Structure 1
Amino acid sequence: MPVLQSSPGRLLIMLLSDTNGSFAETTITQLRDYPEWHRGRSRYAIWMIPINCPEVLAYIDQVTVSLADLLHPTRRQPHITLFVCGFEGQSVMHDDDFTYTQLQRQLADLNRLSLPPGALRVGGPDSFSSAAFLTVGDPQGYLPRWRETLAASCTEIRQAVYVPHITLGLYRRTISAEDLRQRLQRLPGPGDLSMPVERLEYVTYRSDDMFSPLECQHRVTW
């Protein structure tokens, strides 16, 4: 997706809502295997927040249906990506490899936290150039603390700044930013929509399938 340089080693994602730096049009995602990315490695790992709240799931479905002509019909189960680990492996051979030892350190660090269950705010629709999403608010400041804890034992695989969000789908056709902005403004808002967070999950998915299901390997609850 198009990005802007914000500081050395850190990139800023272009958002539709940013009128000072929005993309010009959406980017079509090709549904194919990307061997140049996975280089034969089979499983990719992330930490995520699963979404099980019926009200949030209903709003996701409502907005997704309204954008169905723009989005690929297939998607992974709704979630909020918290931390991108990389490709699971026994050792680090590439800069995006992630080992069992690193995972065990992350699990130990998370289990030492004494945070009570919290809640995130689910906002209205916005967009990257490649994907539509719902915004996520964090009034209690949990996300930075969880991310800092996960980053204590490894470096996250990320070239752009972290934007918490719930992906609605990847674009399958091009639309101008202005037309998309008008479409999103006509959609119903979420109202006072809060989502409880009671656990974090370490999940993996097949790297040769863009919509491979997220399979939970570990979970941390409070």
Structure 2
Amino acid sequence: MRTHFSRSPRSVPLENRDYPEWRRGRERYGIWMIDADTPPLRERIALARAELGDLLTEHQRSPHITLFVCGFLVAKAVRIDPFDDDFDDAMRARQRQALAAARPAAFTLEIGGINSFDSAVFFEVHGASQALRNVRRALSRGQAEICPGRYTPHLTVGLYRDAFAKSELRRRLAVLATLPPIRLEVREIVFAGYSACSLDGPLAIIERLPLAPAR
């Protein structure tokens, strides 16, 4: 199976600690996401964790697909190093305006195909690539993304607890390679925040924005 592994021979384990050098006193982080907390997807994640649980940490947030990484939620963004990852209500308002102007339409995704980054196991997200680009383009017109890079839509299963040999991980992941895809109808996008002090702090939904009817 083809993974998103780098050339390093081992996975990257999660460091189970607070990250004060990253937080710099700030406590909550915000993202735009797709809410994927449905019974079929909860069952699929539970199946994968039952098969791979000895590889993964216990840390787990509710099922979601990150669309856009916004930053630390603050009353007034500074956006000057080292606080260039601040995010405030004015920035979100600009994103909301950009989304209203773009009027991205509802779409359908297929969740399936186990895969892995160096640090995490995930289910692949297929379909509606243009729709995802439209949403992300509108959000980026409102505000630049934190740590932009190549966007890979995914549904996280879990984070590695140790530096495992990738050859062994490929063998373990192959057991789940033939699971059938699950359809996810996306009719809205969600802005959510979570505690940056906790590695599995729950996602708190702050705002839901409906998408235009599918065209």
Cα deviation 1:31-54 (Å, max 9, x = unaligned): 111000010011111101011333
Q: Distance in 2 between matches of 1:42 and 1:16?
A: 37
Q: Does 1:81 align with 2:66?
A: yes
Q: Distance in 2 between matches of 1:146 and 1:214?
A: 20
Q: Distance in 1 between matches of 2:8 and 2:153?
A: 19
> Where does residue 10 of structure 1 map in the other structure?
none
- Equivalent positions of 1:34-73 (< 5 A) are 34-73=19-58
**Pick from 147, 165, 172: which aligns with 1:158?**
147
Which of the two has greater helix per residue?
2
- The residue type equivalent to 2:136 in the other structure is R
Q: Distance in 2 between matches of 1:60 and 1:115?
A: 29
Q: What's the % identity of the aligned pairs?
A: 35
- Equivalent positions of 1:173-192 (< 5 A) are 173-187=162-176, 189-192=178-181
Q: Does 1:135 align with 2:124?
A: yes
Q: Distance in 2 between matches of 1:118 and 1:53?
A: 16
Q: Does 1:203 align with 2:192?
A: yes
Q: Does 1:144 align with 2:140?
A: no
Cα deviation 1:135-193 (Å, max 9, x = unaligned): 11123521111000000021101253211101111111222111100111112533142
**Pick from 156, 179, 182: which aligns with 1:167?**
156
How far apart are residue 27 of structure 1 and its match?
A: 1.3
Unaligned runs of 5+ in 2: none
Aligned residue for 1:119, secondary structure, equals strand
Contact 1:118 1:198 in 2 (8 A): yes
List 4+ stretches of structure 1 deviating above 4 A.
none
With over 3 angstroms needed to count, the CA separation of the structure-2 counterparts of 1:192 and 1:16, relative to structure 1, is closer
Q: Distance in 1 between matches of 2:91 and 2:127?
A: 27
Contact 1:111 1:220 in 2 (8 A): no
Count matched residues. 207
Q: Distance in 1 between matches of 2:20 and 2:2?
A: 30
Aligned residue for 1:73, secondary structure, equals coil
> Where does residue 97 of structure 2 map in the other structure?
108
Q: Distance in 1 between matches of 2:129 and 2:148?
A: 26
Q: Distance in 1 between matches of 2:127 and 2:7?
A: 23
Contact 2:96 2:142 in 1 (8 A): no
Contact 1:76 1:214 in 2 (8 A): yes
How far apart are residue 124 of structure 1 and its match?
A: 1.1
TM-score between both structures, scaled by the size of structure 2: 0.89
Across the aligned residues of Structure 1 and Structure 2, the Cα RMSD in angstroms comes to 1.9
Aligned residue for 2:110, secondary structure, equals strand
Unaligned runs of 5+ in 1: 1-14
Q: Distance in 2 between matches of 1:153 and 1:80?
A: 20
Q: Distance in 1 between matches of 2:10 and 2:159?
A: 13
